Amino acid sequence: MTDKDYKQYTKDARKGIKGEAFFESLIVEHAIPHRIARHNDLGVDFLCEWISGDRPTGLLFSVQIKTTTYSTIKTQFKELSKLNGLNKYKLSGAQKVDDRTLNYWKGLGIPAFLFYIIEDSSKSINDLECFYKRYTPLLDGHSKPEDESGTLAFYRVNEGATFLAFSDSEQEIGGFARDLIIDYFRLSYSKGHVIPLTPSKFGFWPFENKHNSDSLIYFRDFLQWYKKAIKDTCEQTTALLANLPNQE
């Protein structure tokens, strides 16, 4: 390795470490981040478990971190999302996750997110901004064109050192938590895993009308997508229970 290559490697390594540390400092108030050792990195930098208050929920998700600067990434505001309440952006220059990594994520079977940490090095005190893109739509086979694009459908998820777990922190609705629970349910149901769609399941409910028992209004689309898988699971469960010996 030449001296020039070594200096570039060192610079990139420092940048990556800074980005991962910043992500960890953001997410730690809302999830338990488990860092994956670099030599075991197969496209996942963190495995995280969401927490509700002080209670782990058992809701796991994978994270890949990309750290860069505004000299290589250009952000363009697109709209305020009506679904999660976060600002939606196009990140020109962002790289799409490769097929090998996508296949690995499919095997994991948990929601997957790509995070971009972008550093503004033009200021005397470097500012860091955090954006994420949902990759679960590419894992369950129901993606839209913007999901398949490497540059579209990114959401800014920090205000300084604060992670926007909820777009409305007082009511605890929207934000990253909304996308996480939607992706968890849709990925589970795509495999025929029937999970109660209720606030009591995980201890948090990032939707309006928290006491509305008609939770299906938030999940109607993917319940329709996976109707056959859900039906097969129910039929197999019914048959299994019918064949259990009578204990009375």
**Residue 211: its pLDDT value, please?**
65
CB 27 within 8 A of CB 50: no
Question: Element (H or E) spanning 239, and its range?
Answer: helix 227-242
CB 59 within 8 A of CB 181: yes
Length of the chain: 248
**Residue 15: its pLDDT value, please?**
77
In the three-class reduction of DSSP (H, G, I as helix; E, B as strand; rest coil), residue 104 is classed as: helix
Positions in the chain whose pLDDT score sits under 70: 1-10, 39-41, 123-126, 211-216, 247-248
**Residue 228: its pLDDT value, please?**
87
Cα-Cα-Cα-Cα torsion 9, 15, 18, 20, nearest 10 degrees, comes to -80
CA atoms of 157 and 117, how far apart (whole Å):
10
Other CB atoms closer than 10 Å to residue 57's CB: what's the count? Answer: 19
**Residue 221: its pLDDT value, please?**
83
**Residue 92: its pLDDT value, please?**
97
